[in-house]
A = this chain, B = another copy of it.
Amino acid sequence: MSKIQHRNLYREVADRIRELIEHGELPPGERISEKQLCETFGVSRTPLREALKVLASEGLVELLPNRGARVMQLTVKMVKDTYDLMGALEGLSGELACQQISDEGIVAICQLHEQMLEHYRNREMQPYFAVNRQIHESILAAANNEVLEEMYNNLSYRVKRVRYSKKMTDAFWRQAVNDHEMMIVALKARDGKRLGQILRDHLCHKLEVVTLAGVIEDDELINAANG
């Protein structure tokens, strides 16, 4: 017996468009044709337009009155602002996690940390990032704050595309691992203030913005392109 999934159409559509944007199939600044997307998804314009409005409120899409929608064009400043924000949220997640996490939770994160170190020693970049990500997600989950999680995920989605283009120099990498060592110490001691501070300043974010400078166009260029 197959499970009848009664999810709303507009959610389905919004999810699909999010994916298209994330994977660059809808490039930033691209004008979104309602008709074309309707045909692609095989739905009418009503749920599609609902989805677009939701995506606009999520900051993934830009609605131009009477002129349709376009994929949000990120500027360097917007990416920087978003990363600053994500840093603050990660800081909070660390602070809260220290209060809320179970001893088993700490052990689990320590194990992930050891895995990550192993990948670092072997210079296995992709596995390293995967485990790194798991650690941050574990801390976020341990914070036990759904509003925080929702906001973080939203921000994460906005800049997901640009993450793919980050570069990791060896010096930055070592510094990142060093940050993580300190994080583990603070977590074991359940020192929320300390873990929060480390996470806020964790260089991952700043790093990526720096290397992005050449990738994403500048404010001026964007404005010129819009005119």
Point out residues on A near B: beta carbons under 8 Å. 6-8, 10, 46, 49-50, 53-54, 56-59, 63, 65-66, 78, 81-82, 84-85, 87-89, 91-92, 96, 145-148, 150-151, 155
Contacts and interface: CB of A to CB of B under 8 A. Distances in A.
9 contacts: A7-B65, A46-B46, A50-B50, A50-B53, A57-B57, A78-B146, A81-B147, A85-B89, A85-B147
B92 A88 contact: yes
B145 A65 contact: no
Nearest to A55: B57
A145 B92 contact: no
Contact of A155 (B66, B92, B96, B147): B147
Contact of A145 (B66, B85, B89): B85
Contacts of A92: 84-85, 87-88
A89 B2 CA distance: 45
Contacts of A146: 78, 81
A78 B96 CA distance: 14
A53 B14 CA distance: 11
A50 B57 CA distance: 11
Given A8-B63, A54-B57, A85-B89, 5 more contacts: A10-B53, A54-B54, A81-B148, A84-B148, A85-B145
A65 B6 contact: yes
Contacts of A82: 147
A88 to B, nearest CB: 4
Contacts of A46: 46
B8 A65 contact: yes
Contacts of A91: 88
A75 to B, nearest CB: 10
